[in-house]
Amino acid sequence: MRIVFFGYGELGAIVLRGIAPHHEVLLVLTHPVEFSDLGEPDVELAGAELGLPVRYSATAREPDLHEHLRELAPDVIVSTNWRTRVPPEVLRIPERGAVNTHDALLPAYAGFGAVNWAIRNGEEETGLTVHYMAEDLDTGPIITQARVKIGVHETAGQVLGRLLTEYVPVTLEALNRVNAGYQGKPQPPEGASFYHRIGVEDTRIDWRDDTTTICNLVRGQSDPFVNAWTTYRGLRLWIMTAARPTRAHGGTPGRIVKADYGGVVVASGGPRDGDDRGVVLLQVRTETGPPVRALDYFAAFGEYLH
C-alpha cells in the first residue's frame, strides 16, 4: 500500500524500517529533533537511511502540509509514537484511514506511559494494539493486538525490550488486514482507561505506601524511563533498584533502618499492611553521579528519606 508515516523516537524508527520493505512509503513526517526537549532524531535518521522524503512538524496542523498529503493521496497513514493529536481533517485524507500502534491492550491504558503505568499498577500482562485513529486519542476500532506477559520482578526496561520485538510484526499484520478491507472491532467501554504523561513529580516515592506499591513504582520507572526518587539530606536521590524484605520492618515511614538483604532497609507503609512493610534499596544514584550500591552510599542509619 501507499503509506505516509507519522512517527518519532526509537519506536517510530523501528516500525518505519520494518514496514518500508513491504509498502511504498511516500513521506515520513516526524517532529523536529528538539521537540518537547526529547531530542530523538531516530525517525529522521531512519528516513535518510532508507532514502525517503522526510518532513518536520510539531502538530501536523500546517495547511500546506494538508495540501501536500492530499496531493500524495496515500492509501493509509501509519502512526507510531507520534506525540501530538493528529487533526481530524488529516485522518480523513487517506482512502483506507489512519492506523496507530499503541503500547497497551486497548481499551485499557490509552494515553501515555502505558508500560510504566501497567507495571506500577501490578498488571501481569500488557501488549500492543494497532487501531484505526479517531478524533479522541486511542479510541478507534481495534485491528489486531499482541500480548506480552509481565513477570513479577520484571522492570519497565525489560518489558519494553520484549515489546520492541512485536512492533513490526503486529503492524504488518494490521496493514494486511487493512488492505483486505477489515474495518476493525469497536473498543468496548468496559475496562477503558486513560493515563496522563509521566513527569518527575509523578515518580516520587511516598514512604507511607506499602512495599508492593513502592517496589512496583521502582521497577515501573526503571531505565530508560524517569526513575523513582526520594530526597536524602535535602537532595534528590534516584532509586534504581529495590526489593521486598522477607520480614516486615515497621516504624516511621522513610526511616533508614539497617543494612540487610544485600541492601539498605527503609521502613514504609503502616501496621495495616501486615507483613508487607519495608523496602530494601539495592542501587541508588544522585543527581550528578553514577549508580552505586545502596550499601556503599548510606554511611549512617536512623536518618530519614522524604
What domains are defined for the chain? Answer: 2-194 (3.40.50.170), 202-297 (3.10.25.10)
**Residues near 185 by beta carbon (within 8 Å), at least 6 away in sequence:** 141, 142
Per-residue pLDDT of the chain (306 residues; tens, 9 = 90+): 999 999 999 999 999 999 999 999 999 999 988 776 667 899 999 999 999 999 999 999 999 999 999 999 999 999 999 989 999 999 999 999 999 999 999 999 999 999 999 999 999 999 999 999 998 889 999 999 999 999 999 999 999 999 999 999 999 999 999 999 999 999 999 999 999 999 999 999 999 999 999 999 999 999 999 999 999 999 999 999 999 999 888 899 999 999 999 999 999 998 777 778 899 999 999 999 899 999 999 988 999 999
Q: How many CA atoms lie within 13 A of 223 on its CB side?
A: 9
Task: Report how far residue 217's alpha carbon sits from residue 212's, in angstroms, rounded to the nearest whole number.
Answer: 8
Contact (Cβ atoms closer than 8 angstroms) between residue 216 and residue 120 = yes
93-99 CB contacts, 8 Å cutoff, 24+ apart: 93/66, 93/69, 94/4, 96/1, 96/178, 96/179, 97/132, 97/133, 97/178, 98/132, 98/133, 99/130, 99/131, 99/132, 99/133, 99/143, 99/171, 99/174, 99/175, 99/178
Global pTM?
A: 0.92
Q: C-alpha grid cell for residue 10?
A: 526509537
Give the CA angle between residues 156, 161, 163 to the nearest 5°.
90
Could you give the 3-state DSSP secondary structure of residue 64?
A: helix
